[in-house]
Amino acid sequence: MPPSRKILLIDDDATTAELVGFMVGAFRRERFVVEHRPDYAGGLRSLLTGDYALCLLDYNLGERNGLQLLREAKVQRCPTPVILLTGDSNEETDLAAMEGGAVDFLEKIDLTARMLERAVRYALKMAAVLKRLREQAAHDELTGIPNRREFDRRLLEEWQRGVRFKRPLALIMLDLDRFKVINDTHGHPAGDEALRHVARLLVGQIRQVDCLGRYGGDEFALLLVETDRKSAQAVAARLRALVAATPCSLATKPLGVEVGISVGVAAWPDNADTVAAIVAAADADLYTSKRPGASGRS
């Protein structure tokens, strides 16, 4: 039997907390464990852990209110769905809650176990739908890896972190060799399979903290955190050798198609002092590696 999912209750009133806990305990379709935090700071810390299926958030939390906490959590990209609870019947608060990112808004005076269970079920369903939509929007449909927009977001985020803490950061740009020949000889479905094949190989060789994205067409980008240029060059060489040694199997062909990649490497602080500069440097290195007579080494 799977463990019960957790609901975080942030409310400074002990009586309300006891009542809500009793209502959640009366749910009929699914059992939840309620964890109570009585103050703003402790509630926010717990919410940001991401350990909860849902948060029930009281509007009145002393000097700061639940809307402020909700906005602060959303700024920090907290994905946990939040239902705002209030003792006041106020349409402005209702609208502010929705605009602030709450999934629902419930008045305590009318709250029943059945109503709360229905609200929780709806919030969890909405959260699942939104999560799926976010994942679809951030990933390349063909390969399943992050798309250009998501990769650029991650690159900027890791760049800012690296600069702040003075930690190295490397970028590898890769593209498929003779990709047009594969398309022209075997058809575009074969080209698609070659892209998926390379993506699978690369994903299987990188750390969880790194990020591989489809940059466009037959080009990929690989972000390596806490990695200097020399280490990134070693990674690039290893990936290039792996792809060269692993033919791509095609459903329509009895034999695999040989696929190769070219790579370009750049790093901070060695080659660039801005995000745009590191991308340009890696692109330039990739272009150099594709020149006739080049060894393919960055």
The overall pTM is greater than 0.85: no
Q: In the prediction, which pLDDT does 89 show?
A: 66
Angle at 135 between CA 130 and CA 141, to 5 degrees: 130
Question: Which residue range is the domain that position 285 belongs to?
Answer: 148-289
The number of distinct structural domains making up the chain is 2
Q: In the prediction, which pLDDT does 189 show?
A: 87
Is the same domain home to 133 and 154?
no
Residue 41 belongs to some domain of the structure: yes
Residue 30 belongs to some domain of the structure: yes
**Do 36 and 17 form a contact (C-beta atoms < 8 A)?**
yes
Residue 294 belongs to some domain of the structure: no
Is the same domain home to 114 and 73?
yes
**Which residue carries 């809650």 as its tokens?**
97
Is the same domain home to 189 and 281?
yes
Is the same domain home to 132 and 153?
no
Q: Which residue among 117, 138, 159 closes a domain?
A: 138
Catalytic entry in 104, 210, 218, 285: 218
Residue 186: which CATH number? 3.30.70.270
Residue 243 belongs to some domain of the structure: yes
Q: Which residue among 106, 138, 170 closes a domain?
A: 138
Q: In the prediction, which pLDDT does 285 show?
A: 95
Is the same domain home to 11 and 133?
yes
Is the same domain home to 204 and 226?
yes
Half-sphere exposure of 175 (CA within 13 A, CB side): 19
Q: In the prediction, which pLDDT does 297 show?
A: 47
Residue 218 belongs to some domain of the structure: yes
Residue 252 belongs to some domain of the structure: yes
Low-confidence ranges of the chain (pLDDT < 50): 297-298
Is the same domain home to 62 and 31?
yes
Residue 274 CA: distances (Å) to CA of 27, 161, 162, 278: 53, 13, 12, 6
Residue 76: which CATH number? 3.40.50.2300
Is the same domain home to 189 and 108?
no
Residue 218 annotated as catalytic:
yes
Q: Which residue among 138, 167, 195 closes a domain?
A: 138
Q: Measured between alpha carbons, how far is 216 from 140 in angstroms, rounded to an integer? A: 10
Is the same domain home to 153 and 266?
yes
Q: Measured between alpha carbons, how far is 20 from 196 in angstroms, rounded to an integer? A: 49
Is the same domain home to 234 and 201?
yes
